[in-house]
Amino acid sequence: MAMIAYKCPRYRVTVVDINPRRIAEWNSDHLPIYEPGLEEIVKAARGRNLFFSTEVEKGIKESEIIFVSVNTPTKTFGAGAGMAADLQYWDKTARQIRKYSNSNKIIVEKSTLPVKTAEAMKRILTSEDNGIRFDVLSNPEFLAEGTAIRDLENPDRVLIGSSQTPSGLKARDVLVEIYANWVSRERIIISNIWSSELSKLVANAFLAQRISSINAISALCEKAEADITEVAYAVGMDRRIGNKFLNASVGFGGSCFKKDILNLVYLCRHYDLKEVADYWEAVVRINDYQKERFMLNMLNVMFNTLANKRICLFGFAFKADTGDTRESPANFVAKRLVEEKARVVITDPKALKNAAEDLEGVGGEISYVEDPYEASAGCSAIAVMTEWEIYAGLDFERIYRSMAKPAFIFDGRNILDHEKLYGIGFNVFPIGKPGLTHF
Ligand SMILES: NC(=O)c1ccc[n+]([C@@H]2O[C@H](COP(=O)([O-])OP(=O)(O)OC[C@H]3O[C@@H](n4cnc5c(N)ncnc54)[C@H](O)[C@@H]3O)[C@@H](O)[C@H]2O)c1
C-alpha cells in the first residue's frame, strides 16, 4: 500500500490494523518490519496520501476500494488442523466490511487464500440486503521479502482476477488503472478469479519445489562426493531449467511457502486428488528432512554430544535482508540444539528482537549478541543459518583464534570460502559437498 501511495499521489491510502502497536510503529521512525528501501517510500508518502490508523470502521466507510491483507496462517485446531488455512481473520474482516459500509465498494483479496474464497467473501458481504454492491477481485501479492520494494516497483507481473460480469470487469479495470500508474500494461495480467487465487498457491509451490529439489540432491552429493554447486551450475545452464533458485541450503523458511503448499495439499485432498496432494506434500517433507539432516550432522561430527558446548548461529532471519523469522530454519535448529543441551548464541543484524520473542519459554541457555565476533568467541561451532552478506566478509582468522578447539563451521547457506576456512584451521561442513576435516 505504501508503494501505491508513493506512485499515485492522487489516491488517498489509509492502512488500518487492529494491532495498535503495529500502527504506532508505522507512524514512528522505527517501522515494524525491516525491508531495504521501505523506510524511504513510507517517509515520502506518509502524511501526504498515506495514513496509518486503528480506526477500522472509519477506514471502511471512507474507502471506495478495500485491500484485505489480513493474516491467513495454517489452522492449528479442528478439521484441517496443520494443513488448511485459518480463515477466521478473513471472515471477521468480511463481516466488518459489511457492517460499516454505506456505499458501493471494490474488495481486493491481497491475502493468499484457498481457491473459492472470493465466493465466500461475496456471500458474506451480500447476506444482508442493504442495497450496497460489492465487487470482489483477487490480486495476489508476489513480492519476496528482502526484495519487496524492488519487486513492487518492477514486478514480473501483476495478476488481477475478477468475475466476468459487467460490474466485475468494471471493478477489474479500476484496479488495472491503479497499477498502470507505474507498471507497463503487458505486465498487468487478467484472469478469472479462481485462476488468480490458484496461481498464487502454485507459484509458491513451484518455488519451494525447486529448493526442495536441489536440497534433496545435496544429500546425495555429500554421499557421492559430488559438489552441489557444480551440479547446480551444470543443470542451470540448460535454458529450459534456468539458473535461478538453485542454491542448496539448510532449507526454506518464511511465513508463506510451507503454509501455501499445505493449503494446496489440503485443497487437492478435498477434491479427492490423493496422488497430486502426496506429490506436493513431499516438497514440505524434504524441507523438514533437510533441517533435521543439518542438525544431526552437527551432532554426529561433533563427537555425538553437544551438551554444554557453545554453538553460535550466524543469522536467525529466514533469509537475508529481512528481520522476519517466521518458520526460519534457525528457529528449528536453535530448539533442537537446546534439546541437546548446547549453549546457543544467536547473532543477526536485524532479527534479534524477533528471535528472542520466538524462543521465549524454550528454556536452555540462549543468548543474543549483535556483534558476530563477540557472539562466536568461546564457541565450538558456528552454523551459518542466514545468507547475510556481512558474514562472508568477516575476519575468520580472528574468529578462529577466539573459539574453542577443535572449531567447526557448518555453512547452511554455502556463502563462505570453505577452502580458506579449512586453511585457517576450521573443520568445515558445507551443504552438498564433502566436509573438510583435520582429523
Ligand atoms: N509476507 C509476505 O511476504 C507475503 C507475500 C505475499 C502474500 N502474503 C500474504 O499476505 C497476508 C498477510 O501476510 P503478512 O505477512 O503481512 O501477515 P501479518 O500477520 O504480518 O499481518 C497481518 C496483519 O493483519 C492484521 N489484522 C488481522 N485481522 C484484522 C482485521 N480484522 N482488521 C484489520 N487488521 C487485521 C493483524 O493485526 C496483522 O498486523 C497473508 O495471507 C500472506 O499469505 C504475504
DSSP codes of every residue in 225-289:
T--HHHHHHHHHTSTTT-STT----S---SSSHHHHHHHHHHHHHHTT-HHHHHHHHHHHHHHHH
- pLDDT score, position 200: 97
Look up residue 235 and give its three cell numbers. Answer: 543443470
The answer to whether residues 76 and 25 belong to one domain is no
The answer to whether residues 116 and 173 belong to one domain is yes
Over residues 50-108, the pLDDT tens digits come to 999 999 999 999 999 999 999 999 999 999 999 999 999 999 999 999 999 999 999 99
Q: Where on the phi/psi map is residue 67: left (φ > 0), alpha (ψ -120 to 50), or beta?
A: beta
Give me the number of domains the chain comprises: 3
- pLDDT score, position 128: 85
- pLDDT score, position 130: 81
Atom of ligand 1 at shortest range from CA of 72: 41
The answer to whether residues 412 and 320 belong to one domain is yes
For the chain, percent of residues with pLDDT exceeding 90: 97
The answer to whether residues 148 and 36 belong to one domain is no
The answer to whether residues 74 and 177 belong to one domain is yes
- Of 14, 34, 70, 327, the one to substitute when testing ligand 1's pocket (max ligand atoms within 8 A of C-beta) is 70
pLDDT band at 225 (very low <50, low <70, confident <90, very high): very high
Domain boundary among 140, 175, 196: 196
Distance (angstroms) between ligand 1 centre and the Cα of 26 equals 14
Active site amino acids: 256
The answer to whether residues 159 and 146 belong to one domain is yes
Q: Decide if 266 is inside a domain.
A: no
DSSP category for residue 85: B
| Ligand 1 proximity of 255 Cβ (cutoff 6 Å) | yes
The answer to whether residues 43 and 161 belong to one domain is no
**Average pLDDT for residues 303-330, to the nearest whole number?**
98
Containing structural domain, residue 38: 1-54
Q: Decide if 245 is inside a domain.
A: no
Q: Decide if 439 is inside a domain.
A: no
pLDDT band at 129 (very low <50, low <70, confident <90, very high): confident
The answer to whether residues 48 and 102 belong to one domain is no
The answer to whether residues 331 and 418 belong to one domain is yes
For residue 194, pLDDT over 90 is answered with yes
Q: Decide if 269 is inside a domain.
A: no
The answer to whether residues 75 and 63 belong to one domain is yes
The answer to whether residues 94 and 182 belong to one domain is yes
| Ligand 1 proximity of 261 Cβ (cutoff 6 Å) | no
The answer to whether residues 150 and 66 belong to one domain is yes
Look-up: residue for cell 496432494? Answer: 277
Distance (angstroms) between ligand 1 centre and the Cα of 71 equals 4
Q: Decide if 419 is inside a domain.
A: yes
Rounded Cα gap, residues 391 and 315, in angstroms: 9
| Ligand 1 proximity of 17 Cβ (cutoff 6 Å) | yes
Where residue 89 sits, what CATH number does that domain have?
Answer: 3.40.50.720
Q: Decide if 292 is inside a domain.
A: no
Q: Decide if 250 is inside a domain.
A: no
